[in-house]
Amino acid sequence: MKDPEEPMIPVELALEIVLREALPLPEERIPLADAAGRVLAQEVLSDSDHPPFAKALMDGYALRSADVREVPVELEVVEEIPAGKMPSHAVAAGQAARIMTGAPLPEGADAVQMVEKTGELSRDGHIQILEPVNPGANMAPRGQQLKAGQRVLSPGDFLTAARLGVLAGVGCGKVTVRRRPRVAVAPTGDELVDYDSVPEDGQIRNSNGVALMAAARTLGAGVSDSGIVRDDATALSECIATGLLSDLLLLSGGVSMGTYDLVERALEMQGVDVFFRKIAIRPGKPAVFGRKGRCLVFGLPGNPVSYLVIFEVLVAPAIRRMQGLPRPEGRFLHATLEATVVQRTGRTAYLPGTLRFVEGSARIRPIPTTGSADLPAYSRADALLILPAGRERVDAGERVEVLVLESSWQASLLG
């Protein structure tokens, strides 16, 4: 049970515990076309040289560069080679082959002169070359990009559009990836009503559910909505029992010291091992983390900014690790503070801010906020500025540590 005297654990330790418990999920083999946004769990080697043959990079004439040192010069055109066809003649001295982009270069040719730098093809099959070319010009030698057997992608690589293209190019029709985490989202509270209904006196719309589901989904998780759960031991137990069938259960609300804050007790009743209950963080102190079997559980605070900060700091790293993704070190940077901030000491503070780059150096401006319920203010942030637990005041102009929000990191709002 919650003990008011229980010490808070430092944020770094909380993260260490979360990463210790969050293990990469099992692998699965899926068709390449379905693999965008997934994380590779295998090494992929190129099955052949790329390109597999020396090929033309321009429409024009395959020729011997030594023949066109002095221009203009006429060459005999021995054939036309469209893309997809093998040449049937070698190119001898004084000869050329008309060639299309992507077509294999004939034996003997060491360059392509582009059609724009040639004259008209004469009736008797000669072409006038108007400019010299260097050996190797406008062509790619076999294996220029990849050699057969060369590694193209590794476990942990996030599958972007370009990487799917690479995999298709090396004939990888199926890929082994990490299973997507299945995340159950369960907002709790007697005051909550569906967001598309009109609250009566004392009620508020459930905004945590949709936001948490979106946050998990954009990190690659598959989500299920447990619906609003009432502050009632039986309802909570039932919801938790079902949620524990997922890889990750995210509850919000009901983890403070109030009479109706029953989440932690319900978790323990369901056999969840709780690793910590209080973090030295502002906002987000009452955050419960535990595990039962393979399912990780967060009991997040109900206040919007609190659970979103805990999501950034602890839940997102867990979801990434379950998929086998490395830590995105680039989310952490240092920036110059643009306005003085004052806070109570004792906990590490995460304050919403807007980040911008001026001549390549990062600056962060704190967003005025009324606190952990101020979701509209938080929604304007693209980063959190981190104030160490011992600092009461940090002055404008000082350098501070900054955590770029997952949403801006992904949308690359920062370029």
Binding site for ligand AMP (CB under 6 A): 187, 189, 191-192, 204, 206-209, 252-256, 258, 301-303
Per partner kind, with CB cut-offs from 5 to 8 A, the member of Mg ion, ligand AMP, none near residue 401 is none
CB of 311 to Mg ion, least distance (A): 18
CB of 302 to Mg ion, least distance (A): 5
Name the one range near Mg ion by CB under 5 A: 35-43, 71-79, 211-219, 250-258: 250-258
User: Given the complex with ligand AMP, which of 304 and 353 has the nearer CB atom?
Assistant: 304
Per partner kind, with CB cut-offs from 5 to 8 A, the member of Mg ion, ligand AMP, none near residue 187 is ligand AMP
For residues 101 and 81, give the distance between their C-alpha atoms in angstroms, rounded to a whole number.
9
CB of 264 to ligand AMP, least distance (A): 11
3-state helix, strand, coil in the chain (%, to 5): 20, 30, 45
Per partner kind, with CB cut-offs from 5 to 8 A, the member of Mg ion, ligand AMP, none near residue 245 is none
Of the candidate residues 60, 108, 187, 253, the single one contacting Mg ion (CB under 5 A): 253
Per partner kind, with CB cut-offs from 5 to 8 A, the member of Mg ion, ligand AMP, none near residue 246 is none
For residues 369 and 379, give the distance between their C-alpha atoms in angstroms, rounded to a whole number.
11
**Cβ-based neighbours of 157, under 8 Å, separated by 6 or more:** 39, 40, 163
* 243 to 9, 77, 298, 348: CA distances (angstroms): 26, 72, 11, 31
| Cβ–Cβ < 8 Å for 299, 254 | yes
| Torsional sign, CA 258, 260, 263, 264 | positive
Of the candidate residues 104, 181, 189, 317, the single one contacting Mg ion (CB under 5 A): 189
Name the one range near Mg ion by CB under 5 A: 1-9, 20-28, 31-39, 254-262: 254-262
Number of chain positions touching Mg ion (CB under 5 A): 4
Residue 118 burial (10 A CB sphere; 0-12, 13-18, 19+) = buried
Comparing every residue's Cβ against ligand AMP, the nearest one is: 302
CB of 375 to ligand AMP, least distance (A): 8
**Cβ-based neighbours of 158, under 8 Å, separated by 6 or more:** 37, 38, 39, 40, 325
Question: Residue for token digits 């830590």?
Answer: 327
Per partner kind, with CB cut-offs from 5 to 8 A, the member of ligand AMP, Mg ion, none near residue 60 is none
| Cβ–Cβ < 8 Å for 353, 384 | yes
CB of 252 to Mg ion, least distance (A): 9
* 234 to 188, 267, 268, 373: CA distances (angstroms): 13, 11, 13, 28
CB of 191 to ligand AMP, least distance (A): 5
For residues 66 and 69, give the distance between their C-alpha atoms in angstroms, rounded to a whole number.
6
Per partner kind, with CB cut-offs from 5 to 8 A, the member of ligand AMP, Mg ion, none near residue 87 is none
Per partner kind, with CB cut-offs from 5 to 8 A, the member of Mg ion, ligand AMP, none near residue 51 is none
> Alpha helices, DSSP H only, in 172-288?
208-218, 233-243, 263-269
CB of 209 to ligand AMP, least distance (A): 6
User: Given the complex with ligand AMP, which of 192 and 322 has the nearer CB atom?
Assistant: 192
